[in-house]
Amino acid sequence: MVSSLSPPAAVELCFENVNGSCVKTPYSPGPRVILYAVFGFGAVLTVFGNLLVVISVLHFQQLHTPTNFLIASLACTDFLVGVAVMPFSAVRSVESGWYFGQSYCKFHTCFDTSFCFASLFHLYCISIDGYIAVTDPLTYPTKFTVSVSSICIVLSLFFSVTYSFCIFYTGANEEGIKDLVVALTCVGGCPVPRNQNWVLLCLLLFFIPTVAMVFIYGKIFLVARHQAREIESSASQARSSSESYREHVAKRERKAAKTLGITLKLVHLQFLPFSLYTL
């Protein structure tokens, strides 16, 4: 009797003739080219876009303000994401394997976590800066100085880097799931094991600043709108001028609302999928 079962398909490995190699499931040539083009464009845009921001702030003397230093530091962390994280993640995603060595695997994971959380903390500091500028504009120059901005930058970077490297280089993320880590370990893989404590801490570090930023930006918008209405009500100009002024105020309010909305949406689009996947 002839068997009707077809022979099993050949298994493709990340490293042929290497014991313990991970199984490779690459994309076909067409989708692979498309994915490389998309990921490559994103990495190039991230690198050169943020580099342009950093150079602009550092080069032009009139841009040397506490807020712009925060923005330049934020752009610097995003620039490092584009250089040290995105290209390697793109290759791993498309080729379904890690080809950059196990040593850099752990560094890559630490860089990814450090720079992303640093960006989030920078955004939180920028929201506090905006809140002080709107609610207390007269004393704002004395409250949020270059020194305060530098402290925010240092704390954001120090906390993010320390947290990330301590978690992954002490093995705290693998406690309680050693058997799973052993089962997932293979040559050509770069898994990021996460136990329950690590997942909970990551979610808290994401949602607490995010909720705080939503509250702060909402407060900023309400205060700015109230101030604009007070100025408008006290204006003693001609009707035509007043109407022109009201139109200007309305446009400014819409622009502020749009800017704040775009900022918060981008933050959620970047971090929410990862947080939900981690959960």
Model pLDDT, residue 7: 47
Please state, in angstroms and rounded to a whole number, the distance separating the CA atoms of residues 263 and 276. 20
Q: At 44, list the tokens.
A: 């190039």
pLDDT reported for residue 194:
78
Question: Could you read off the pLDDT of 150-167 as tens digits, one per residue?
Answer: 999 999 999 999 988 888
Instruction: Give pLDDT < 70 ranges for the chain.
Output: 1-11, 228, 231-261, 263-264, 267-268, 274-275, 278-279
Question: pLDDT tens digits, residue range 225-277?
Answer: 777 677 666 655 544 455 555 555 555 555 655 665 676 677 667 777 766 77
Integer Cα distance of 154 and 166 in angstroms: 18
pTM for this prediction: 0.81
Q: What proportions of the chain, in percent to the nearest 5, are helix, strand and coil?
A: 75, 0, 20
pLDDT value of position 18? 74
